[in-house]
Amino acid sequence: MISPDCLEEDLKYLKEHGYTTIFLSELTEHFKSGLELPEKPIILTFDDGYYDNYVYAWPLLEKYECKAVISPIGKAADEAENEEYRSVLWSQCTWEELKEMSDSGFVELQNHTYDLHKLNKGWQGAAAKTGESDDDYKQRLSEDLLKSNAQIQEVTGNVPDAVVYPFGAKSDTTEDIVRSLGFSAALDCEEKINYIDSPDDLFQLHRFLRPDNISSADFFGKFEKI
């Protein structure tokens, strides 16, 4: 987690150094239709759909005219609708708040599963459970992802085209299932540089976790040297 001041410093740095924030859908569309991307594109991602995204991040995105991808946990957004006391320390966004951000044009919602954000009793995110058959896994994963897609489509009018794996966890057959459902990209949690030469590379998109203890210049500067 980073502070609002840190995020604002980052957004200023990106603007001042010629970066343009884009949506994931713009990246996938680049390979589908040849959509032209800016010279220095960058994708900012926020997982889980926490309420602090709405309270702190979204106003800053609007202020600096930057785009970001928020990937909510579907079940958590459902439960947030009935939460009596809400706090930026633990609450999730409601669907109404997610819609408001999406409608602004600065936030894109992608699929972070409906109810697979777990690490217990044989669960490990979107990966197959211990002892689960291939057929049972395919059915379970497909139903969950399609449910999340349907929710987001109902709220925003847009169908997510990327899966953001909870904890980055997946199995050997996960990518094939994700492809069969019509998705165009998938994001993990490996901190590696992406080299994207074809649509196939979009199914192994890596991301760097932004720590809160270094400056924007130090964080982004290390990538500029590669």
Token pair of 206 as six digits: 């890596």
Residues 4-206, CATH architecture: Alpha-Beta Barrel (3.20)
- pLDDT band (50, 70, 90) for residue 222: confident
Domain limits, the chain: 4-206
The answer to whether the beta carbons of residues 187 and 207 sit under 8 Å apart is yes
Task: Tell me the whole-structure pTM to 2 decimals.
Answer: 0.96
Q: What is the mean pLDDT of residues 195-208?
A: 96
- Amino acid at residue number 139: Q
Q: What is the mean pLDDT of residues 143-170?
A: 97
| 218 burial type by CB count under 10 A (0-12 exposed, 13-18 middle, 19+ buried) | exposed
Percent of the chain with pLDDT over 90: 92
Please, what is the average pLDDT of the chain? 96
Q: What is the mean pLDDT of residues 101-124?
A: 95
Give the phi and the psi of residue 186 in degrees, each rounded to 5: -150, 140
- pLDDT band (50, 70, 90) for residue 114: very high
Q: What is the mean pLDDT of residues 197-219?
A: 95
The answer to whether the beta carbons of residues 109 and 79 sit under 8 Å apart is no
The answer to whether the beta carbons of residues 43 and 24 sit under 8 Å apart is yes
Q: What is the mean pLDDT of residues 82-89?
A: 91
Q: In this predicted structure, what is the pLDDT of residue 198?
A: 95
- pLDDT band (50, 70, 90) for residue 143: very high
Q: Would you say residue 226 has pLDDT above 70?
A: no
pLDDT tens track for 16-65: 999 999 999 999 999 999 999 999 999 999 999 999 999 999 999 999 99
Give the burial string for 142-156 (b: 16+ CB within 10 Å, else e).
eebbebbbebbeebb
